[in-house]
Amino acid sequence: MFIDFFLDVFETHKKQDAIVWNNTIFSYGWLKEKVFSWQQILKETNIQPGTVVMVEADYSPSSIALLLALVENAAIVVPITASVAHKKAEFIDTSEVELVISIKPDDSYKMTHLKTQATHEHIATLRSMNIPGLILFSSGSTGKSKAAVHDVAKLLEKFKVKRHALRAITFLLYDHIGGVNTLLYTLSNGGCVITVSDRQPDTVLATVEKFNVELLPTSPTFINLMLISEAYKRHDISSLKTVTYGTEPMPESVLTRFNSHFPKIKLLQTYGLSEIGILRSKSESSSSLWMKVGGEGFETRITEDNILEVKALSGMLGYMNAPSPYTEDGWFHTGDEVEVKGDYIKVLGRKSEIINVGGQKVYPAEVESVLLQLDFVSEAEVYGMSNALLGNVIACKIRLSESTEGQDKKTLKIEMKKFCKKHLEGYQVPVKFHFDHSEQFSSRFKKQRSL
């Protein structure tokens, strides 16, 4: 019932590539059979509709088929990937998981029944309507991750509109709203889901070359790493038509560098949140951070203090472990500060990420963007440090490129300050530099705001 429109697409495309996994191609005909075989397993093990099922997996033929079978069975799915393994117990507890299905690296599975009986009101709501659910955890840069409960019937609605079939890499993870979106978009249009074993620039770009990937949905951090690593020189990525980026503010300098290297690749910004799903967006141009957001099922408005609010037809029911974030009239307060130009908006950053230096606002992304223009800076993370004189001052964590080995840090520091002073206001220039050799991005290829 819920996945009929998927099965129709699978039938029409049954001879075509559905999934590439471990260098093996699986057809839509195969996938359809696999969905049926999972439905059979769920039936035999007596998994009732409304069961809260944690699926511990990465993208694989079996995990993709399982997801669809669970949706059809009106289960409430909690996807989780190895990247959050350390939070597994917390997630099981918060989302009242009743059954864990783990998909192993060889694509076999293991089921573990738990004693919990889920009673949360959002789960009860889904059960009473006999509708499948999806629970996604927000990354929660501070404190506990929040569990957002979605009505999957509503979430699937937008995928019924036919769009281009693309060969896409599922770069964003299986338990991330962006990853779920890429997966459902690709399958509902008869495109090909191309999985990667890891998310290193060379692995990803080698996959692009080998399987003629057309769409790479990724993050600004990965784009930066791809440029730094020069992986594009080692692989032919001419099949790539579109790269999308979201999840964090894009430094203007990275955008410019990408465009000068790849003038033919369309670079589009996406906008979405675990709580409301992915909005349709349209960038003004490949070189622009301005975009229009909205699309069917989404309304947007800007508050007086320039925060974007979204009303989404497919928005979550609410959190399981936090108060409802909706305004009284049903809008979701994103916390993202935006600049407005006609129909276009530009996301400046999370209000909470803005650093207040002596009453002046500093956006970390802007400062990072300047630092990254220096050849010897591989990565930069800018953060606020409390200071008795100015409230906060700008500090940064720098990963130097290997070419600087043996060079005096003090000289480099002076050079960075000098360069920043040329391109930024005095109060935006970092006063404290911390050098770190380790890579700063998370397993989600999102800059880790560690401080």
Partner 1 sequence: MITYEQVIELIYSAIDELNASSDNKAVIKQEDTALYGESSPLDSVDLVNVLLSVEEALEDEFEVELVIANEKALSQKNSPFRTVSTLASYVADEVNSQ
Strand ranges of the sheet holding 271-273, from the earlier edge strand across to the other edge = 271-273, 277-283, 291-294, 344-350, 332-341, 307-312, 298-302
CB within 8 A of 177, min separation 6: which ones? 136, 272, 273, 274, 277, 278
The runs of H, that is alpha helices, within 303-408 are: 364-371
Strand ranges of the sheet holding 109-113, from the earlier edge strand across to the other edge = 109-113, 99-103, 52-56, 76-80, 133-137, 147-151, 318-319
Q: Which is nearer to partner 1, 84 or 429 (CB)?
A: 429
Q: Binding segment for partner 1 among 82-90, 194-202, 307-315, 414-422 (CB under 8 A)? A: 414-422
Provide the mask over 67-106, with x wherever binding to partner 1 is found by CB under 8 A and - wherever it is not. Answer: ----------------------------------------
Q: Considering the complex, what minimum distance in angstroms separates the CB of residue 337 from partner 1? A: 23
Q: Does 408 bind partner 1 (CB under 8 A)?
A: no
Q: Considering the complex, what minimum distance in angstroms separates the CB of residue 370 from partner 1? A: 14
DSSP annotation of 412: H
Q: Does 421 bind partner 1 (CB under 8 A)?
A: yes
Q: Considering the complex, what minimum distance in angstroms separates the CB of residue 416 from partner 1? A: 8
Q: Considering the complex, what minimum distance in angstroms separates the CB of residue 434 from partner 1? A: 11
| Residue of 403, 396, 382 whose CA lies nearest to 433 | 396
Residue type, 144: K
Residues 341-400 that bind partner 1 (CB under 8 A): 357-358, 387-390, 393
Angle between helices 4-12 and 177-188 (to 10 degrees): 50
Q: Which is nearer to partner 1, 103 or 393 (CB)?
A: 393
Q: Considering the complex, what minimum distance in angstroms separates the CB of residue 183 from partner 1? A: 47
Q: Considering the complex, what minimum distance in angstroms separates the CB of residue 421 from partner 1? A: 6
Alpha carbons within 13 A on the beta-carbon side of 256: 7
Q: Considering the complex, what minimum distance in angstroms separates the CB of residue 419 from partner 1? A: 9
Q: Which is nearer to partner 1, 234 or 432 (CB)?
A: 432
Q: Considering the complex, what minimum distance in angstroms separates the CB of residue 364 from partner 1? A: 17
> Strands (DSSP E) along 363-446, which ranges?
377-387, 391-400, 432-435
Alpha carbons 359 and 51: distance in angstroms, whole number: 51
**Contact with partner 1 (CB under 8 A): which of 313, 417, 440, 442?**
417
Q: Which tokens hold the place of 305?
A: 């203090």
Three-state SS for 348?
Answer: strand
Q: Which tokens hold the place of 261?
A: 């290297």
Q: Does 264 bind partner 1 (CB under 8 A)?
A: no
Q: Does 110 bind partner 1 (CB under 8 A)?
A: no
**Contact with partner 1 (CB under 8 A): which of 414, 434, 435, 450?**
414
Contact residues toward partner 1 (CB under 8 A) are 357-358, 387-390, 393, 410, 414, 417-418, 421-422, 426-427, 429, 431-432
